[in-house]
Amino acid sequence: MLEMFSLKGKVAVITGASRGLGRTMAKGLAAAGAHVVLIARDKAKLDAVSSEIAADGGASTVLPIDLSDERAIRTGVQSIAASLGRIDICVNNAGIINWQPVLESDLEEFDRTMDTNVKATFIMAQECAAVMRKGGEGGRIINIGSVLSTVGRAKLHAYCASKSAIVGLTRSLAAELGRENITANVIAPGYFVTDINASVTGREGYVEAVSGVTPMERWGEPQELVGTLIYLASGASSFVTGQVIHVDGGISSTFKFQLAA
């Protein structure tokens, strides 16, 4: 029964693996049996994650890439396909955020957010899907959205636009690649303490305010994404595609007043 969740013999590529949610998800993929390809810019941090995976008995390859560099992505994915012989799972997790009021925002920041969060996700998915199709055994594309894929947030217009775009992109990938037995789904995390929200978690009352509007009344632990990730990456989800799975303690589906009802 648990065999359907095994990733033994699979090659999984994951971006943003140097820290935060990606680091934990990469270790989860390795623990499930996959050979994990770790992508981000910071090679020293990727090496550290790779050592942690090895210490747990897993296997990984470090691939330092700046995802704003299209050529580097395409060459990197092709080098992995050549050296490891296959790509079965592509997890597009790397992402950036930028807080700017609408009337004071600049296009450079908007472009930078869209390029990292959306364009790189598309290029990664395109390259990996080509390798998956050639392999003839199908594959899994898992894109990391957000609770802000479905709701807006003041001062985060670029980030919200990028995370909504990831949902549209994923549904289109699902529509076109289904016949190749390649599925595409989104995991939409709620609030998890990582570097990405370090600028706001220090604000007095912020952490408590988020907990207050979350039905489970707390922030998530990165490890709590791993079960959904393994499900979507494995044979257990073989007929699931084009879906958005929220892992957010219920925040996206409820309207919770901080005062008790």
Minimum gap (Å) between residue 219 Cβ and ligand NAP: 8
One of 105, 172, 194, 211 touching ligand NAP (CB under 6 A): 194
> Around 205, how many Cα atoms within 13 Å sit in the side-chain half-sphere?
2
Residue 82: count other Cβ atoms within 10 Å of its Cβ: 9
Strands 59-64 and 11-15: unpaired
- What's phi and psi for 94, nearest 5 deg? -55, 140
One of 76, 95, 139, 249 touching ligand NAP (CB under 6 A): 95
- Residue pair 14/39 in contact (Cβ under 8 Å)? The answer is yes
Nearest Cα neighbor of 244 from 138, 148, 171, 159 is: 171
61 is a contact residue toward ligand NAP (CB under 6 A): no
Q: Interface residues for ligand NAP in 126-155 (CB under 6 A)?
A: 144, 146
Nearer to ligand NAP, 137 or 221 (CB): 221
The answer to whether residue 231 is catalytic is: no
Nearer to ligand NAP, 44 or 261 (CB): 44
Interface segment toward ligand NAP; rule CB under 6 A; list 26-34, 75-83, 122-130, 195-203: 195-203
Nearer to ligand NAP, 235 or 250 (CB): 250
Query: Which residues neighbour 244 within 8 Å (Cβ) at sequence distance 6 or greater?
Result: 145, 149, 150, 167, 170, 185, 186, 188
One of 6, 61, 197, 211 touching ligand NAP (CB under 6 A): 197
- What's phi and psi for 166, nearest 5 deg? -60, -35
76 is a contact residue toward ligand NAP (CB under 6 A): no
Nearest Cα neighbor of 97 from 169, 13, 192, 24 is: 192
Interface segment toward ligand NAP; rule CB under 6 A; list 13-21, 131-139, 210-218, 229-237: 13-21
Q: List the catalytic residues.
A: 159
The residues that touch ligand NAP, with contacts defined as CB under 6 A, are 15-16, 18-22, 40-42, 45, 65-68, 93-96, 116, 144, 146, 189, 191-192, 194-197
